[in-house]
Amino acid sequence: MKTLYPFLKSRTPNGGSGHCLALLLVPALALVLSLPVKALADDEFEDLAEEAAEESAEEAAEEAAEEAAEESAEEAAEEAAEEAAEESAEEAAEESAEESAEESSEDAMEEVSGEMENPDMRASQRDLADRVFEDFGERDLVVQQELLIMAEPEQVDLLLTQSELTLISRRPLNQLPGTLARFRVGDAYSPEQVRQRLQGQLPGASIDLNHGYRISEASGEWPSEPATGALAGGVYQLPETSAGKRLRIGMIDTDIDINHLVFSDSQITRRDFLSENRDRDREHGTGVASLLVGQTPGFRGVATGHHLFAASVFAHYRDRGLVATSHDLVAAMDWLISQQVAAINISLAGPANQVVAAAISRLADAGVLMVAAVGNEGPFAAPRYPAAYDRVVGVTAVDRDGRLYSRAGRGAHVDYAGPGVAVEVAEAGSGSAYTPASGTSYATPLITGLLLAYGGQEDVSSGDPDALNRLIERDLVDLGQPGRDPLYGKGLPGRNWIADTLSLSEAP
């Protein structure tokens, strides 16, 4: 608050002004007494003195109150500033502690969009990226020094105390049993030996290495007479999907370019399951998805009208190309079963894995149809998984004349053949263009769609588990040797839906 006499106040001790006012009153009284006009009476003088004293007291009280208010305001401001500084320091300390705790928690727990690596493994993220995979056998890949475990949460907790293991990530599973966890095995230990020991310690748990899987595709050329995209796979003329029979179809592949014209009227739900922050690919997944649910006036998929749930599991790795891991494959399966899909299309191939096998067994128990490519590693390659599992339909590829794709895998795990040579598919990033593609992975979605189409037939009874198989077997084109064989399996489904203009060489 401002004072009326700052210059006087500055001269008085302790900021007071009472003495100065009294000094001013003395000459004033003397001047009054010396006036010649009229002598003042004693009582008048006393009254004047009393009035002056009262005025002096009032002014002194006012200034004292003003000074007290100013001092109180200054003290209050100082206290407020100190309190604000203390609160700011406390908040900064709390925020720092919270951030530190959050970072520590994030290092150990998996986020929805991916996983954070353990701090002990962050010495050189670039080095880790270069050495994430190592060769496993002649053809396969495995994540270096890593174990994958699907077990009850209490069993996973027991492993946290073992010195040779470091937790990388863990995620609760929704439909599959227990928890899915990744552990780093110390460099001084053999992951396979540790796996064998843990298998004995954790009954009922599924434990294996974290294997790598590759896309089941290869380059292809247009045939002499290009197939029209208006036919599914250039071969099939299927009936329109009725509104009452629309299904949910799962797909495990790369990401999809949903901006391509072929998906303009398609219903697609996508989710990413990559456990590392790497470049995603859209080319392969776009082509496979177009064969399932894509549709334009000049192009038709085999399962148009159905809702596609697409799980992205592939990423680019230096010197390895496109690779998916067992961990991401199982995580994708868990999501797809929670979405109540009727079938899952899997256009990838790799080694057998106990955790993946356990997940597939659970999906098969739930009635989910799983269709997988047998792979493109040649006629002498060992069976590839998951196509080689008993409860998965294995698909090979043939051209439009029924000839086997030269690089397709062979064996007892081949169940059906499908068009997969120079098949027209949507080209990612082009907006509206198409491109020829070859491989067992492109035959697989056509067989997936055909099997679902058979399941929608009126003569398939839900109470007869063999009715569907009988219907399919009556509608097969038997290729190769009569009956089932290791090249074509049971043959090419969909005889009644094959366009009349196409010629397929059937076994005599």
Tell me the Cα Rg of the chain.
41
**What residues does 498 pair with on adjacent strands?**
236
Name the helix (H) or strand (E) containing 416: strand 416-419
Name the helix (H) or strand (E) containing 268: strand 267-272
Residues 163 and 230 in one domain: no
Token pair of 467 as six digits? 């009715």
Q: Which residues are catalytic?
A: 253, 284, 441
Domain end point (choices 188, 213, 238): 213
Unique residue bearing structure tokens 């043939």: 398
Residues 280 and 425 in one domain: yes
pLDDT at 102: 38
d(CA 96, CA 103): 10
Q: Is the confidence at residue 183, as pLDDT, over 50?
A: yes
Residue 101 belongs to some domain of the structure:
no
Residue-wise pLDDT tens digits, 23-48: 333 344 343 334 443 343 444 445 54
Domain end point (choices 213, 245, 274): 213
Q: Is the confidence at residue 396, as pLDDT, over 70?
A: yes
Residues 289 and 248 in one domain: yes
Residues 173 and 250 in one domain: no
Domain end point (choices 213, 233, 266): 213
Residues 223 and 209 in one domain: no
List the Cα angle 351/354/355 in 5-degree steps.
Answer: 105
Token pair of 275 as six digits? 């456990």
Residue-wise pLDDT tens digits, 102-135: 343 333 333 333 333 333 333 333 333 344 888 8
Count the neighbouring beta carbons within 10 Å of the beta carbon of residue 168. Answer: 25
Residue 263 belongs to some domain of the structure:
yes
DSSP 101-113: HHHHHHHHSEETT
How many domains in the chain? 2
DSSP 36-55: SS-PPPHHHHHHHHHHHHHH
Q: Taking residues 93-105, what's their average pLDDT?
A: 41
- As to burial, measured by CB atoms within 10 angstroms (0-12 exposed, 13-18 middle, 19+ buried), residue 361 is middle
Residue 122 belongs to some domain of the structure:
no
Count the neighbouring beta carbons within 10 Å of the beta carbon of residue 114. Answer: 15
d(CA 46, CA 354): 115
Residue 12 belongs to some domain of the structure:
no
CATH of residue 153's domain is 3.30.70
Name the helix (H) or strand (E) containing 346: strand 343-346
Determine the length of the chain: 508
Residue 27 belongs to some domain of the structure:
no
d(CA 293, CA 318): 32
Token pair of 391 as six digits? 């409860």
The domain in which residue 465 lies consists of 215-497
User: Angle of helix 42-108 relative to helix 18-33, nearest 10 degrees?
Assistant: 160
**What residues does 236 pair with on adjacent strands?**
232, 498
Count the neighbouring beta carbons within 10 Å of the beta carbon of residue 14. Answer: 5
Does residue 480 come out as left (phi exceeding 0), alpha (psi in the -120 to 50 range) or beta?
left
DSSP-derived pairing of the beta strands 248-253 and 343-346: parallel
d(CA 21, CA 8): 10
CA-to-CA separations, 315 to 137, 141, 272, 283, in angstroms, rounded: 22, 14, 11, 12
pLDDT at 229: 67
Residues 455 and 370 in one domain: yes
Q: Taking residues 257-280, what's their average pLDDT?
A: 89
Residue 386 belongs to some domain of the structure:
yes
Q: What percent of the chain has pLDDT over 70?
A: 67
Residues 252 and 142 in one domain: no
Residues 289 and 353 in one domain: yes
Residues 146 and 295 in one domain: no
In this structure, of 67-81, 235-249, 436-450, 463-477, the range with the lowest mean pLDDT score is: 67-81
CA-to-CA separations, 338 to 161, 386, 449, in angstroms, rounded: 32, 20, 21
Say if residues 211 and 135 touch (Cβ distance below 8 Å): no
pTM over 0.85: no
Residues 145 and 252 in one domain: no
pLDDT at 22: 40
Label residue 51 by pLDDT band (50, 70, 90): low
Q: Is the confidence at residue 288, as pLDDT, over 50?
A: yes
Alpha helices by DSSP H, listed for 405-508, are 440-455, 467-473
Residue 469 belongs to some domain of the structure:
yes
Residue 37 belongs to some domain of the structure:
no
Say if residues 311 and 332 touch (Cβ distance below 8 Å): yes
pLDDT at 10: 37
Residues 468 and 444 in one domain: yes
Residues 417 and 379 in one domain: yes
pLDDT at 274: 82
d(CA 419, CA 146): 38
CATH of residue 491's domain is 3.40.50.200
